[in-house]
Amino acid sequence: MPSIHQSDVKTNNNMIILSIESSCDDTACAIVCSDGTVLAEQIYSQKEHVQFGGVVPEIAARAHLSHLSDLVKKTLNQANIDWKDINAVAATCGPGLIGGVIVGSSFAKGLALARNLPFIGINHIEAHALTVRIPHISEHQVHFPYLLFLTSGGHCQCIHVKDIGDYHRLGGTIDDAAGEAFDKVAKMLGLSWPGGPALEALAKEGDENTFSLPRPLYGRPGCDFSFSGLKTAVGNLLTEYENIDTLPRKLAANIAASFQKAITSAIINRLENAIKASPNSTLLATAGGVAANQYLRKHIQELANKYNLPFVAPPMKYCTDNAVMIGWAAIEILQQAAKNNKVIDDISMLPRPRWPLSEMSQIFDS
């Protein structure tokens, strides 16, 4: 199997990666250069799940299979480059819904084999963690170490990002992810899936001080999160309404606003502990779909200000699942490998539903 030319890796300007993301319900492909230029990006956010009110893993895997070939073709056409200009193929190998990860990574391996290119298997969480380092993505140049708050439908964790391959998970959710809590409460309020954006919109019509809801783990030491008690408390408020259609809109808005206030306050408390636990962090970054929530963002910004930390949130399309972050992570890993005189080709890497970040340094160990 050919390896990427080490001189290309060292110049930091000559690599072009084709990347694929398929770990949940977004089928995505991108072509990314090592200077951070995105030559092409395509994404298909699967509509197949709407009728079920949540992602159905089996349907997601089949949808990736149906859409991936056309999406890759479109990406190559958009970039208007030749295969001979591409240095490697990268794909998410985990963690995630295993069916989708198998589809995306096998497809990428097929491309790599057919084109005689190295294959780079990417950890999805590591890719989220490194997104803020894509040059020009924000007004800050992001240097290690920094603190990342990753908050999506499937993940909710604080990570101290010390270097490529060196991550310390300060804490994570012990039950639901924040996005899951937003989605479940939205469902209780009769809103359509995904519920987060709809709940935020409804909350704008409500009074956030109407109900005092629990803020799980608030004031406790550590950086873990818990949201299921809050979700249950909202459910209890709604028990007198047998049918969601009889719920007055004003009441629904007040519940939405009170829920948003409670979850934000719980998150900020845990994040404050994470900042204290990583005092050398140069900035606070965020990623994941829930980071789209303006109310939450405003409070994270205020927290960052309190600790004199710059707050970096990539543009929304790079906060949510995308293939650009997969390509960028491959570039960072290849450059790090070159520094360690290592050549990476993960063609025999197996897709993993779980893949702890603590294992990432192994690729640089001899």
The window from 58-66, 188-196, 272-280, 341-349 that contacts ligand KG4 (CB under 6 A) reads 188-196
Residue located via tokens 């270097």: 163
Q: Is 200 in the site for ligand KG4 (CB under 6 A)?
A: yes
Nearest distance, CB of residue 311 and ligand KG4, angstroms:
17
Q: Is 197 in the site for ligand KG4 (CB under 6 A)?
A: yes
**Binds ligand KG4 by CB under 6 A, chosen from 4, 9, 15, 24:** 24
Residue 82 annotated in ligand binding = no
Residue 183 annotated in ligand binding = yes
Residue 293 annotated in ligand binding = yes
Peptide linkage before 118 cis (omega within 30 of 0) = no
Nearest to 167 by CA among 6, 357, 35: 357
Instruction: Give how far Cα 102 sits from Cα of 80, 89, 98, 229, Å.
Output: 28, 15, 6, 34
Q: Which of residues 256-295 bind ligand KG4 (CB under 6 A)?
A: 288-290, 292-293
Residue 169 phi/psi, 5-degree rounding, is: -80, 110
Distance CA 349, CA 90 (A): 12
Judged by beta carbon, residue 138 or residue 320, the one nearer ligand KG4 is 320
Q: Is 180 in the site for Zn ion (CB under 5 A)?
A: no
Angle, to 10 degrees, between the axis of helix 57-79 and the axis of helix 98-114?
30
**Binds Zn ion by CB under 5 A, chosen from 208, 321, 332, 346:** 321
Judged by beta carbon, residue 183 or residue 321, the one nearer Zn ion is 321
* 78 Cβ contact list (under 8 Å, min separation 6): 31, 39, 40, 41, 42
Distance CA 329, CA 132 (A): 11
The helix or strand, by DSSP H or E, that contains position 150, with its residue range, turns out to be strand 146-151
Nearest distance, CB of residue 354 and ligand KG4, angstroms:
15
Annotated binding site for Fe cation: 124, 128, 321
Annotated binding site: 124, 128, 150-154, 183, 196, 200, 293, 321
Q: Which residues form the interface with ligand KG4 (CB under 6 A)?
A: 24, 152-154, 179, 182-183, 194-197, 200, 288-290, 292-293, 320-321
Q: Which residues form the interface with Zn ion (CB under 5 A)?
A: 152, 321
